[in-house]
Amino acid sequence: MSHAYLLLKDDSLYEGEAIGALGISVGEVVFNTSMTGYQEILTDPSYTGQIINFTYPLLGNYGTNREDLESKKPYLRGLILKERELLPSNFRSISSLDNFLARHGVIGISNLDTRMLTRKIRNFGVLPGAIISGKTLTPTLRSRVLTQIHAFSDADVIREASCEAAYTYRSTNSNSKSPKRIVCYDFGIKTNILRCLARYDYDIRVVPHNATYEDVVALKPDGIFLSNGPGDARSIPQTIAAIRELARYYPTFGICLGQQLLALAFGGDIYKLKFGHRGANHPVKDLTTGTIQITSQNHGYNVDRDSLLGTGFQVTHVNLNDGTVEGLQHETLPIFSVQYHPEASPGPQDSMYLFDRFHKMLAERC
């Protein structure tokens, strides 16, 4: 097995074993606390630009398959894990995790103390780093990679995660003669979100992150959906301006980055969390019903509660771990959003009612 190294922005260095592709990859090092679902996480476009440190100590035991892909390829920059399983056992498995990563050019490092790394991130916050795999780490190479780490930026990750051109997502079970048309902004949309929307026999049109107000109106939508995605929502001001106009005329539902964009569009603000929310076990309270949901989350930014004054938004959900904003609803317009992933079903069905709420909203308005 080849050696691999993890080099962080503070010049700390950790040695392990290579997994997946060989080379050098720079990204923001974050941690995920999920105990299962690694293939869905690896193919979630919201991880664009990031190196994921998994807190669960064993990955690869059930291999990889065709059914659990959330996009056409992995978007993450790298993978950090404690122990890997080279001989997976599952009736759906078609490839080992190692082969899956290598086939898609994802660089990884195993046999690392992931608990230590997680504690470091919790104490000091997320930080850029690099995985160096299959190369001799000379002082010259270390210095060059460290320069790349310091130059790392996530300014373009939304563009990288989004589709390049608009397309139609068709439900194979659609029997409706006049389905509602939903325009989905793709900031890094997960496949299962589209599957959840398709259950209602919508005519679903997906547009890239930079689609203008005129582009969307030309599609004659009945409703607007704003997807999840990576990075800082403030990096796409033209899209924020388009959403500001669209949400005034069409029922709108936002998930994750979509919630942040809605807050920004109506005059609110967002901020970067110290180490983000990434895992499948985050408890969220619905303030409108008093119920508590177990949610799947993946975001590094959050809506600033104090900035919502005067925006027309009310907080509907809060995170029970740290009290952060997890859901919004507009006081007068048909707009709502959540910061977590209802389609990921960690509860497993705790949050699917949100898609029903959107469907009811469309029926009432259209």
Residues acting as catalytic residues: 256, 341, 343
Give the separation between CA 216 and CA 220, rounded to whole angstroms: 7
Closest by Cα among 104, 106, 54 to 84: 54
Largest separation between any pair of C-alpha atoms in the chain: 67
Contact 353, 317 (CB under 8 A): no
Check residue 308 and report its DSSP letter: G
Question: Which residue shows structure tokens 């509860």?
Answer: 347
Beta strand spans in the chain (E): 3-8, 13-20, 23-32, 50-54, 58-59, 78-80, 83-84, 107-110, 127-133, 167-169, 181-185, 203-207, 223-226, 252-255, 270-286, 292-303, 313-319, 325-330, 335-338
Phi, psi torsion values for 156, nearest 5 degrees: -110, 15
Q: How far apart are the first and last CA of the chain?
A: 60
Closest by Cα among 269, 255, 198 to 46: 255
| Sequence-distant (≥ 6) Cβ neighbours of residue 201 within 8 angstroms | 171, 173, 174, 175, 176, 179
